[in-house]
Amino acid sequence: MAKELEGRVALVTGGSKGIGLAVARRLTQEGARVGIVSRSQQNVDAACRSLAAEGLQVHGLAADLLDAGAAAAAVETLESALGPVDILVNSAGAAQRYAPEKLTPTLWQQTFDAKFYPSLHVQHFILERLAERATRRTGNEEVGAIVNIIGTGGKQPTSTHLAGGAANAALMLATVGLASHYAALGIRINGINPGFTLTGRIEQALRLESERRGITREQALAEGQAAIPLGRYGRPEEVAEVALFLASPRASYVVGALVPVHGGAGPVI
């Protein structure tokens, strides 16, 4: 992209591992000043060291984004350090998987707390700032872009991902609804629905599937990949490339999209 994001400021939630870290890397490579937020200071420090070893500098911050006050403070801190945020990529939140008979009302609530609210909290405070900046624009120029990393579980239910899928479905609806409203202010909001992607989170899915069916982890992995038309699980870097496009000027007319990144396995919308 030839440094098309030079001078822009990006915030990546969940940016210390997996897809979020891959997104932070690509945004930084394309010239953006990037801040990452994660609950774990240890993970944040490890991510910053890893990127620094590649010659990439990011600003790291630990915060529990389920706490709206902490989310607001994180946005304030990062904007003080880097400048007004132009790009938000929400990759925070890992919904645990449960066998259906083990789901309780408490676990449903905890799942929404893990996946839905952290993204919405940060997005709310970024939208406040972007909307205020929009009042000062002189034409139809873009003010900012938001990309929510969600997941195909919100469109294609699986028995061990019902609560997480419900949270994903809610986040998809919020993404599209907010996109429709804020487009008039020059703020583009889109979502990405990754399928199975080779991150640490995939191990829980493989473990549950092997336990549920009485097969080995290797068998679960082989069968899962065989069910995908491309014949393999995705890589975080492949999702990051889509996020980079949606956050960039190249996607200037893309609003309210939910882009599937699942190798052909599952819904196409």
Indicate the domain borders of the chain. Answer: 9-197+234-261
Residue 182 CB-half CA count within 13 A = 29
* CATH topology classification for 9-197+234-261: Rossmann fold (3.40.50)
Q: How far apart are CA 266 and CA 269, in angstroms?
A: 9
Instruction: Write out the two tokens for 174.
Output: 């919020």
Instruction: Write out the two tokens for 23.
Output: 């997104």
Walk along the chain (269 residues) and give the pLDDT tens digit of each residue.
468 899 999 999 999 999 999 999 999 999 999 999 999 999 999 999 999 999 999 999 999 999 999 999 999 999 999 999 999 999 998 778 888 899 999 999 999 999 999 999 999 999 999 999 999 998 999 999 999 999 988 888 888 789 989 999 999 999 999 999 999 999 999 999 998 888 877 777 788 788 888 899 888 888 889 989 999 999 999 999 999 999 999 999 999 999 999 988 875 44
pTM across the whole model: 0.92
